[in-house]
Amino acid sequence: MSFRFTQTAIDTEAARRELQDFGAGGYVSFEGWVRDQNEGQEVTRLEYEAFQELAVKEGDRIVAEALRRFPVKRALCIHRVGSLGLGEMAVWVGVSSAHRGEAFDACRFIIDAVKHRVPIWKKEHYRNGNSGWVNCERCAAEPQHPPEHRHRVATAPKEPV
């Protein structure tokens, strides 16, 4: 299982051990953290929700694609769900590889594709008491925008090769 969810803090040490491989010369990881600002609003907390059955399938497909595209050894992605405070880790991606270049590339590919394709949603809660589903509320306000609209994931990869 190369993509999974957790309700509790991500154990990065345990996750890192899953990537160990005697053929690997190193590993790259990415951690996504809850930030205190988004689009000019002061964020106090985030709530993550996922359609887990499909999300795990799609996440596994993304990691499998990364392993096909890049000559890396192992890859893993773990995503939190539930309510997260500032500074908490929302997502972790790790890739081990013989050489560093493809490890960076594969890690970047996975996090970009996860943000773009996996059915996970986050609701931001703001200092002023408001809240909103990221990417949805603005979409609803502009129903005419084109279907190919990429929301805020400007670097999203193209469809699977």
Partner 1 sequence: MSVAPIYGLILAGGASKRMQRDKAALKYLGRTQLERAFELASRHVDKVFVSVRADQISDPTRAPRPMIVDLGEGEGPIVGIRSALAAYPEAAWLVLACDLPFLSDAAIEGLLRRRDPNSLATAYKSAHDGLPEPLCAIWEPAAARALAGYQAGGGQCPRKFLIRHAAHLIDPLDPRALDNVNTPEEYSQAAAALESSAPMQLKIQYYALMREQAGRSEETLETSAATPADLYTELTARYGFTLSREQLKVAVNSEFSDWSRKLAANDAVVFIPPVAGG
Binding residues vs partner 1 (CB under 8 A): 32, 48-51, 53-54, 57-58, 79, 90-91, 111, 114-123, 133-137, 139-140, 143, 145, 147, 149, 151
What count of Cα atoms within 13 Å lies in the side-chain half-sphere of residue 122? 23
Q: Which is nearer to partner 1, 99 or 145 (CB)?
A: 145
CA dihedral sign, ordered 125, 128, 130, 135? negative
Minimum CB separation of residue 124 from partner 1 in Å reads: 9
Q: Which is nearer to partner 1, 19 or 113 (CB)?
A: 113
In angstroms, rounded to a whole number, what is the distance separating the alpha carbons of residues 59 and 48?
Answer: 16
Question: Please, which residues bridge with residue 58 across strands?
Answer: none
Minimum CB separation of residue 51 from partner 1 in Å reads: 5
Question: Please, which residues bridge with residue 27 across strands?
Answer: 96
C-beta of residue 19 within 8 angstroms of C-beta of residue 72: no
Minimum CB separation of residue 90 from partner 1 in Å reads: 7
Minimum CB separation of residue 53 from partner 1 in Å reads: 4
Tell me how far the alpha carbon of residue 109 is from its chain's centroid.
10
Minimum CB separation of residue 119 from partner 1 in Å reads: 5
Q: Which is nearer to partner 1, 73 or 122 (CB)?
A: 122
In angstroms, rounded to a whole number, what is the distance separating the alpha carbons of residues 114 and 109?
Answer: 9
How buried is 148 (Cβ within 10 angstroms: 0-12 exposed, 13-18 middle, 19+ buried)? exposed
